[in-house]
Structure 1
Amino acid sequence: MQSVFTFIKKYRFIGLAVLAVVLLSGCQAATSGEPIDPETAGFFDKYFVLTFSNIIKGVASVLGGSYGFSIIVVTLIVRLALMPLMLKQSKNSYQMRDKMAVIKPEMESIQAKYKGKKDAESQKKMQQETMALYQKHNFNPIASIGCLPLIIQFPILIGFYYAIRTTQEIAEHSFLWFNLGQSDLIMPFVAAAIYFIQFRVTQIGMEPNQKKQMAIMGLISPVMIGLVSFNAPAALPLYWAVGGLFLIAQQLLSKKLYMPASSANIRVNASN
């Protein structure tokens, strides 16, 4: 059972990548950034990208033709709609950490008991004892992984992203100091900085070893967003910046609601 759990946890994002390929296989216009023809659009383009494009244009008309404010408003609406799923995922994650902390000493005892024993009989007994340990603590490692919220939000966020890229009206408008349809030198730094802060917020309450393990991975997202934004229309880093700020607030809320006292003590000790 432990090996199954490890395998699924390690390769769950491969499943999400397969899902991405399936969803995007019929949306050549969206992925190329070209305008979408409603008559020939594939399933994803028609029901996700075009829908969000129409929403962006509709909200912009209500806001006096401001596509910058429209992107901000629609981004917040989408994130608010997904927020219950994300908070539920956070809650499950904290519950899993609590149970794993309780199980860990007994798990290590089982592993020490069968250390160096590679025969089939010993491996079978170790899996049986591990399974019994999970049942004793009512712990389901597969159910606690929490891929469903990611699967649900993925097509929504991707559809919104491509709607911003392919809505021609956006490229014809300016917002604040930049043109939404042209690259900007400041917005990439803004978006990257926000996502770096968001990464640091996710580290609150983590054990020092976990922070070290995530140090490199945590820099990938801000760096990639910054690099892509330099060659992308400024509407995209605007979208990323607003989404990143919302994620920071959402993560702080989830930690306040669900972070166990033990993790809070780790945070306090780390700051001293």
Structure 2
Amino acid sequence: MSWFDGLLYPIMVAVAWIMVQFHSLFDFLGLDPAGGLAWGLSIVGLVIVMRIILIPLFFKQIKASRGMQLLAPDMKKIQAKYKGKTDPASREAMSRETMELYRKHGTNPFSSCLPILAQSPIFFALFRVLNSLPALASGDYVRDNLGPLTQDLASQAEQASIFGAPLSATFMNAAEFGDAAVHVRIVTILLVVAMSATTFLTQRQLTMKNMPPAALEGPMAQQQKMLMYVFPLIFAFSGVNFPIGVLLYWTTTNLWSMGQQFYTIRRMPAPGSQAEKALKARQAKKAAHKGITIEEDRPTIEERPVSGQRQQPVGKARAKKQQPRPAGSATATTSAGAAASSAAEESPSGSTASPEPGATGGPAPAKKKRNGTGGGKGGSTPGGTPDAG
């Protein structure tokens, strides 16, 4: 056993256990235990189990993709700020501001690759399990079995074929299978084309339908478009080295990704994307069918009465004077003021005389001591009128 197999051995045992459990289920349902349909569906069952486990990572990928879309305008500002600057200090500052922007939005470009990275160990483990089938079936494997995958089960899996092509066969070693070599090459090419096409369509669905127009511009968008075409080519050229069972696994997981992504984009599209416009159109059509009118959300503007003159600021003292008084107090004050004015007009010296009690119907004012021109206590006013005191 190589060091790579030793490193992947725990994952290989887990992969073999899941396949054997599904194989037992299909055997119980009446499928041929040595047939390609039972073992092929076991690989499909492995895909379903792994993708269910990876659902949290899938939602994290969607969240990261939306975060990248939201920070696209700020990213453009940073790129415009350092446009044409190639000195090391500017590049370092640009990288620092970019990482700070990623930290602020809680995302980064590598988060969208999490499901693929998480599946990589499963992918290589399945690759090694299928490659180990001949050695397990002949008893030449370094161990007696591979977890629950015994020698008898390995013999059944090795003989299992899809359209005449064994699951462990590859395009490059098709000649080892004699008359089945043509079937191996045809099935391999079909699966490689299906794997590359589903990879491209999955990336295109995410890029074109679930991104706002602003996120489709700039260097980052160009890199994503380039990867959308590069990945299928990489899989197409490397797929000839993969066993048919691995190609079946990868094509199935791509189909799962397309369906899961289609549901998510249809139900929860990114703001400003084509998917969001399509969702609003469907909602409007459904509401119109039911006779309900859907109004778009618009900002509410509070209207205030417009006066012809601007209101002047009022001080505290003036505001206190302008406060309304009780009706009885206002009447008494007015009467007292009128009596005082009348007494002042009748006085020859212009001094103010105190009104007598009961003249105005109100209480008599309190007596005050006058100083200055009025003299001291018991003095008289300049007009000779004796002081009330």
TM range, normalised to the smaller chain?
0.5 to 0.7
* 2: CA distance, partners of 1:153 / 1:129: 31
* 2: CA distance, partners of 1:153 / 1:187: 19
Normalising by structure 1, report the TM-score: 0.64
Percent identity of the aligned residues? 18
**1:3 alignment partner in structure 2:** none
Verify the 8 A CA contact 1:173 1:180 in the aligned structure 2.
yes
Verify the 8 A CA contact 1:91 1:254 in the aligned structure 2.
no
Secondary structure of 2:3's match? Answer: coil
Q: 2:233 aligns with which of 181, 199, 223?
A: 223
**2:21 alignment partner in structure 1:** 58
Structure of higher CA gyration radius: 2
Q: 2:129 aligns with which of 163, 179, 188?
A: 163
**Deviation readout 1:152-176 (Å, 9 max, x if unpaired):** 4432333234333334533210235
- Give the paired residue count: 224
* 1: CA distance, partners of 2:95 / 2:41: 57
**2:8 alignment partner in structure 1:** 44
Secondary structure of 1:85's match? Answer: helix
**1:236 alignment partner in structure 2:** 246
**2:144 alignment partner in structure 1:** none
Distance 1:229 1:123, change over 3 A: closer
Alignment-mate amino acid for residue 68 of structure 1? G
Distance 1:237 1:93, change over 3 A: same
Shift of 1:130: 4.0
Shift of 1:105: 5.8
**Deviation readout 1:77-120 (Å, 9 max, x if unpaired):** 1112112212212212212321332x2465356447xx759596
**2:166 alignment partner in structure 1:** 179
Distance 1:49 1:100, change over 3 A: same
Verify the 8 A CA contact 2:67 2:105 in the aligned structure 1.
no
Structure 2 unaligned segments of length 5 or more: list them.
Answer: 28-32, 135-153, 170-183, 279-389
Question: Bigger shift: 63-72 or 49-58?
Answer: 49-58
Distance 1:165 1:188, change over 3 A: same
Distance 1:119 1:241, change over 3 A: closer
* 2: CA distance, partners of 1:171 / 1:94: 44
* 2: CA distance, partners of 1:72 / 1:224: 23
Secondary structure of 2:104's match? Answer: coil
Distance 1:116 1:53, change over 3 A: closer
* 2: CA distance, partners of 1:127 / 1:235: 46
**2:3 alignment partner in structure 1:** 26
* 2: CA distance, partners of 1:203 / 1:70: 32
Verify the 8 A CA contact 1:184 1:233 in the aligned structure 2.
no
Structure 1 unaligned segments of length 5 or more: list them.
Answer: 1-24, 31-41
Secondary structure of 1:248's match? Answer: helix
* 2: CA distance, partners of 1:230 / 1:105: 41
Secondary structure of 1:203's match? Answer: helix
1:256 paired to 2:256: no
* 2: CA distance, partners of 1:241 / 1:63: 21
Q: Which has the higher contact order (CA 8 A, sep 6+)?
A: 1
**2:322 alignment partner in structure 1:** none
Normalising by structure 2, report the TM-score: 0.47
Distance 1:233 1:266, change over 3 A: same
Distance 1:211 1:139, change over 3 A: closer
* 2: CA distance, partners of 1:139 / 1:155: 29
**Deviation readout 1:198-226 (Å, 9 max, x if unpaired):** 23223323426666544443333333333
Alignment-mate amino acid for residue 159 of structure 2? E
Secondary structure of 1:63's match? Answer: helix
**2:50 alignment partner in structure 1:** 78
| Structure number with higher helix proportion | 1
Alignment-mate amino acid for residue 132 of structure 2? T
Shift of 1:246: 0.9
Distance 1:164 1:246, change over 3 A: farther
* 2: CA distance, partners of 1:217 / 1:117: 25
Matching of residues 80-95 of structure 1 within 5 Å: 80-95=52-67
Report the aligned-residue RMSD: 4.0
1:107 paired to 2:78: yes
Moved over 6 A (4+): 265-268
